[in-house]
């Protein structure tokens, strides 16, 4: 099954700790809409500090919600020039445990 993956690359100077906190806030917002269990089961995401990258699996409705919230939050908080986002289609869905360990 094709998946939609969004890869966010952050420029130098953007605090990765702040990005991580913003991602967690987006997760909480998605939980408010879909419930904690659905987000845990259907939303895949990770942050890779060494590469300054955040990846969000938007292959489910819950994942699309999380992605939209996260994109809105980081644009508002850091500005549109603080990151680049790339949509990657067709990537196979990794097991949830692997996504969390990215």
Q: Kindly give the confidence (pLDDT) of every residue in the chain, 102 residues in length, as a single tens digit, with 9 standing for 90 and above.
A: 557 999 999 999 999 999 999 999 999 999 999 999 999 999 999 999 999 999 999 999 999 999 999 999 999 999 999 999 999 976 555 545 444 433
CATH number for the segment(s) 4-100? 3.30.70
Residue 36: its pLDDT value, please?
95
Q: How much of the chain is in helix, strand and coil states, percent to nearest 5?
A: 55, 25, 25
Q: Which residues of 8-27 are buried (b: 16+ CB within 10 A; e: fewer)?
A: bebeeeeeeeebeebbeebb
The residue to which tokens 């060494």 are assigned:
50
As a whole number of angstroms, the distance between CA 31 and CA 74 comes to: 18
The whole model's pTM is what? 0.84
- 């067709």: which residue's tokens? 90
């Amino acid at each position: 099954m094709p998946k939609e993956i969004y890869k966010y690359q952050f420029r130098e100077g953007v605090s990765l700790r702040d990005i991580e906190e913003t991602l967690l806030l987006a997760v909480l917002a998605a939980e408010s809409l879909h419930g904690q269990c659905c987000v845990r089961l259907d939303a895949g995401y990770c942050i890779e500090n060494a590469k300054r990258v955040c990846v969000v699996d938007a292959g489910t409705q819950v994942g699309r919600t999380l992605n939209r919230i996260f994109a809105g939050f980081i644009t508002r908080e850091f500005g549109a020039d603080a990151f680049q986002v790339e949509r990657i289609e067709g990537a196979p869905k990794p097991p949830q445990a692997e996504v969390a360990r990215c």
